[in-house]
Amino acid sequence: MSNIRKTDQAQLFVWSDVDPDHEADFNQWYDREHMEERVRIPGFTGARRYRAVSNAARRYLALYRAETLAAFTSAAYQKAFTKQTQWSVTNFGRMSNTRRRVMQVAQEGGFGWGAALVLVELKPGAVADEQVNDLLEGLMKEDGVLRAHYMVPDAELSTPLPSEASEGRVLAPCLAVDVSSEPIAEATLRQLTEAFGDALREAETFRLMWALDEHDLPALED
């Protein structure tokens, strides 16, 4: 029996950079306001923040988990964009080289979140679902691999943030692999690079900064 399951869940990733002069405030905004705001939206189940291990063009990655893609079309989600705090407006304006994608989590194996993450983007249409399934099955047998999920972008919902160039924009499927350590992340990255070959578009490893689950949040006072 396959350990890989199909899901109706969704995930938003926002991959960006920020000027070092504003980095401290940017991180404080994410950690003290923005993550909580998003996870409190009905339909969202949690969020994680990562920093790239290498000197990548985009150093920060935020992942937001939702029950379904419908969470990104809800009135509550739309309202979040009409009532931005000044802190949010300021820091959205500081993001650079941003990549925003709303994804369906099409296939997934394992559970939990690791201390490190491998994220690879694939060339659209270059890898069949069956090949992804077989690769996920193999990954889940590796020591230190905790969870792997294959995500397919939704073109309508993946509207760009202002700092993302529209010219040459590619909506690529992604594979994210949670592992228990950075050395395992590097080994997994090498394994995926070899497995996908020319189908690989971009790849990076990250260390987990922190994770927030919907059940961590206290109820808001009236």
**Domain parsing of the chain, residue ranges:** 5-216
Task: With CA atoms as reference, report the closest residue to 217 among 11, 12, 41, 9.
Answer: 41
Task: Say which CATH topology domain 5-216 has.
Answer: Alpha-Beta Plaits (3.30.70)
Taking 50 as the threshold, does the pLDDT of residue 1 lie above it? no
Q: Is 122 exposed, middle or buried (0-12, 13-18, 19+ CB in 10 A)?
A: buried
pLDDT at 167: 82
DSSP 154: -
pLDDT on residue 168: 84
The three-class DSSP label of residue 59 is coil
State the pLDDT at residue 197.
95
Residue 113 scores a pLDDT above 70: yes
Is the confidence at residue 94, as pLDDT, over 50?
yes
Q: Regarding predicted confidence, which is higher, 1 or 41?
A: 41
pLDDT tens-digit series, residues 172-204: 999 999 999 999 999 999 999 999 999 999 999
Beta bridge partners of 119: 176, 204
Angle between helices 182-196 and 129-139 (to 10 degrees): 150
Residue 38 has pLDDT above 70, yes or no: yes
pLDDT of residue 83: 85
> What average pLDDT does this structure show over 14-41?
96
Average pLDDT over all residues of the chain: 94
Beta pairing class for 60-66 and 95-110: unpaired
CA distance 51 to 61: 6
Contact 146, 179 (CB under 8 A): yes
Instruction: Say whether pLDDT at 222 is over 90.
Output: no
Burial of 34 (0-12, 13-18, 19+ CB in 10 A): buried
Task: List the structure tokens of 206.
Answer: 């990250």
User: Do residues 117 and 206 lie in contact, with contact meaning Cβ atoms separated by under 8 Å?
Assistant: yes
Matching residue, tokens 């073109």: 155
So what's the pLDDT on residue 32?
Answer: 96
Tell whether the model's pLDDT for residue 49 goes beyond 80: yes
DSSP 3-state assignment of 135? helix
Mean pLDDT of 12-35: 96
What is the biggest distance separating any 2 CA atoms in the chain, rounded to whole angstroms?
55
Mean of pLDDT values over 143-171 = 93
Structural contact between residues 150 and 108, judged by C-beta atoms closer than 8 angstroms = yes
What is the tens place of the pLDDT at every residue in 77-86? 999 888 899 9
